[in-house]
Amino acid sequence: MSVDSLWRNKRRALLTMLGIVIGVGSVIVMLAIGQAAERFILSQVASFGSDLLFIRNGPGDGKQASGPPTTAVKQTLTEHDYEALQRQSWIRAVGANVYSQLLVESPTKSLRVQIAGSAESEVVIYNVEIESGEFIGAEDVTGKARIAVLGHDLAHDFFGEEDPLGKTVKIGKKSYRVIGVLKPAGTRFFTNLDRQIYVPFSSLMEQLNIERLQFISVKIGDVSASEAQERIRGILRDKHRLDNPEADLAKDDFFVATQEDTARRAGTIGTILQVLLSSVAAISLLVGGVGIMNIMYVTVTERTREIGLRKAIGAQSQDVLRQFLAEAIFLTVVAGVIGILSGVTLSFVGLQVLAVYQDGWSFAMPWNGIGLGFGVSVLIGIVFGYFPARRAAQLHPIEALRYE
């Protein structure tokens, strides 16, 4: 009887279910994308290996050190810190980095491009592969040479099929000679390496008139990451003349992160992102539940005489309650199933499209989102359907039959 009643008003039923469909679908899409982003970040972190540490500006407890470098954090890392770490025998390679967005001009094109001020150790630390020419050398960093290494896509954009080696590009207001082109490298931490230009960090610092590095990367040798972390803290405390005998991280003006720390932060950020996005999507479910309750109240009002007739010939209040509650639950369950199918399909298609433009994204069935969406849709049917059903069950048969 519940299904027959809904079928007679199928257009209304479909519109009523729409809020639940959108809500459940949104929850699944948000959770799927959040989980995919977390997997992407963790895979990027894992690809560097456990022997890589990052040193950033900011307090040593890391409260302000997550995310990209920012001027809101006091800049304290210097070239002297980089040189001090280079002298350590237990460190295999040290990288120094400064980034900036600048206008780059070639004879045929002008583009705003990310400039990566780097050291010669970039090749070892990040497994950079050269397609033609060579990478930045130690003498280029020492001499603040105006030389540049182009990402694969940028080399094609600026010079087409011509060999860019030996040609000149203008970065900002300075001319740089191209000495190398990289092989296709994809993305790293949401940065397209194929559309990036590498120059000696000393040259970029001079051009930007800055004296501080944005971060330092360290590839360690035969020491554990935790021991290396403590050794680096000791070296930098001496270099920065910090009075910190108790080794209080909050008193440090730098932050040393191991890959384990980075992975833990990425996991925390991913979890927060999923909760936040799911909470926003859950509002649609709440709105859909209110819509179902309103429609069920309208249905009760329309069918008042039917309810009175049923009760007059022997139907109990519980029978009427079960019928109207069944209608509400049926609506939300069907809407939940449609929302699940829609959400999974949209998540799969969306991540496949994203993977075309950025390697490393993958789809995994969001079982927690499916369980949450289906469970909440059933709960909404019970909670928001109960009050209209209870109102219908409490109608007096005589008064209901008199209702016009």
pLDDT digits (tens, 9 = 90+) for 74-107: 788 999 999 999 999 999 999 999 999 999 998 8
| pLDDT the model gives residue 309 | 75
Query: To the nearest whole percent, how much of the chain has pLDDT over 70?
Result: 86
Q: Where are the domains of the chain?
A: 2-44+264-402, 51-257
| pLDDT the model gives residue 66 | 44
Separation CA 177–CA 166 (nearest Å): 6
Separation CA 366–CA 249 (nearest Å): 38
Inform me whether the pLDDT recorded for 348 exceeds 50: yes
Give me the mean pLDDT over the 225-237 stretch. Answer: 89
Name residue 55's beta-bridge partners: 216, 256
User: Per-residue b/e over 63-101, b at no fewer than 16 CB within 10 Å?
Assistant: eebeeebeeebebbbbbebbebbeebeebbbbbbbbbbe
Among 198, 188, 181, smallest CA distance to 99 is for: 198
CA distances from 97 to 54, 203, 225, 346 (A): 11, 11, 21, 39
Query: To the nearest whole percent, how much of the chain has pLDDT over 90?
Result: 27
DSSP letter assigned to residue 92: E
The pLDDT mean for the chain works out to 82
Higher pLDDT, 256 or 390: 256
What are 43-72's pLDDT values in tens digits?
766 666 678 888 988 877 655 544 444 445
Separation CA 196–CA 151 (nearest Å): 5
Among 343, 358, 374, smallest CA distance to 33 is for: 343
Instruction: Quote the pTM value.
Output: 0.65
What H or E segment, with its residue span, contains residue 309? Answer: helix 304-312
Residue with tokens 């409490």: 394
List helix spans (H) across 48-151: 79-86, 122-126, 138-142
Inform me whether the pLDDT recorded for 178 exceeds 80: yes
Inform me whether the pLDDT recorded for 246 exceeds 90: no
Separation CA 93–CA 126 (nearest Å): 11
Higher pLDDT, 5 or 247: 247
Burial (Cβ within 10 Å: 0-12, 13-18, ≥19) of residue 267: middle
Inform me whether the pLDDT recorded for 390 exceeds 80: no
Q: Which two tokens stand for residue 328?
A: 């509400």
Separation CA 221–CA 127 (nearest Å): 16
Give me the mean pLDDT over the 378-385 stretch. Answer: 78
What H or E segment, with its residue span, contains residue 26? Answer: helix 10-47
Q: Are 28 and 224 in contact (CB under 8 A)?
A: no
Highest mean pLDDT among 16-30, 149-163, 285-299: 149-163
| pLDDT the model gives residue 206 | 93
